[in-house]
Amino acid sequence: MPQPVATFLAHSLSLKTAMAECLANPTPKSVHWLRATIRRIEATLDLLIDTADLPTLPRQSKQFRRSLRRIRRAAGAVRDLDVHCELLATYKTISDATVLEKDLTVLRGRKQKKLQQHIQGDARDILAMLDKLEPILAPAAELDLSGGSLAHAARALLAPALRGLDPSDDEGLHSIRKACKSARYIAEIGCDVSKSAATLAKRLIDLQQTIGAWHDHLLLLNEAETALPTDSPLTEKLYVKTRILRRKAKSKAVRLLARKASTPSRRTSDVH
């Protein structure tokens, strides 16, 4: 059965490699890997805090999580620009797309430097904290969780995160996506041994990607509105596309919230 501590240690090794790669050459692939690895570590820590008898873990991991969060947010800023440049490729026949792409490339260079500065500033502390966390996690090294338990843990994490969120609101819809992402990473730990965990992960990925497509276009639209003339044909196309994607995202989010509302609790509009 899956062992959360082993999963955490495997992600820690990936984190070390991803930080080194981003320092040497922060390609879109390496930046995405770094950001996703940090989110997986954060989700695994949440799982261990909820399921393992490790009373000192929340306090001992607090500074570690703060350092990770700084790097994750810096990586997220670079990742957003990489995604936006990819999206612009579908609008390459519009002259304004080239203008905006040049602006985003310049901005990407600045965000890339900030990411590397954050890694340089925090990497040593992160590596030291990983060494300190290993003996704290050791008592739970043999903790085995069934796939069904992981699916339940993912749902238990998701339910309170979704409470009070309104998919009609931009921030609410984006928060639904983030909650689904964290729950998905926990469910994925059990995908190889559990159909229920794999099914849940697949459903969360679908919702996450649908909302993500809208949010990526929304951010790109905001950048176009700032950088381009008000009568830009690119801005108009992005506006229409973003409205369509938002309707799809809201529809799926509403269905998710309705499903959660009808499930007994257990332990364990416009563009904008």
The answer, yes or no, to whether residue 2 has pLDDT greater than 80, is: no
pLDDT, one tens digit per residue, over 67-115 is 999 999 999 999 999 999 999 999 989 989 999 999 999 999 999 999 9
Share of the chain above pLDDT 90, in %: 86
The reported pLDDT for the residue numbered 267 is 39
- Point out the least confidently predicted range of 11-20, 36-45, 139-148, 247-256: 139-148
The answer, yes or no, to whether residue 50 has pLDDT greater than 50, is: yes
Amino acid at 233: P
The reported pLDDT for the residue numbered 259 is 80
Domain boundaries, the chain: 1-144, 146-272
**Is this prediction's pTM over 0.85?**
yes
The reported pLDDT for the residue numbered 20 is 97
Amino acid at 83: V
Contact 137/57 with Cβ under 8 angstroms? yes
Distance (Å, rounded) from C-alpha 246 to C-alpha 84? 17
The reported pLDDT for the residue numbered 207 is 96
pLDDT, one tens digit per residue, over 194-206 is 899 999 999 999 9
Contact 190/47 with Cβ under 8 angstroms? no
The answer, yes or no, to whether residue 270 has pLDDT greater than 90, is: no
C-alpha 146 chain-centroid distance = 24
The answer, yes or no, to whether residue 56 has pLDDT greater than 50, is: yes
CA angle 41, 47, 49 (to 5 degrees): 105
The reported pLDDT for the residue numbered 271 is 53
User: How many residues comprise the chain?
Assistant: 272
The reported pLDDT for the residue numbered 263 is 54
Residues 6+ apart with CB under 8 A from 233: 94, 96
H or E segment to which residue 45 belongs: helix 28-51
The reported pLDDT for the residue numbered 3 is 87
The answer, yes or no, to whether residue 266 has pLDDT greater than 70, is: no
| Residue in the block written with tokens 């790669």 | 21
Across all residues in the chain, what is the average pLDDT? 92
Instruction: Print the SS3 string covering 185-220.
Output: HHHHHCCCCCHHHHHHHHHHHHHHHHHHHHHHHHHH
pLDDT, one tens digit per residue, over 204-244 is 999 999 999 999 999 999 999 999 999 999 999 999 999 99
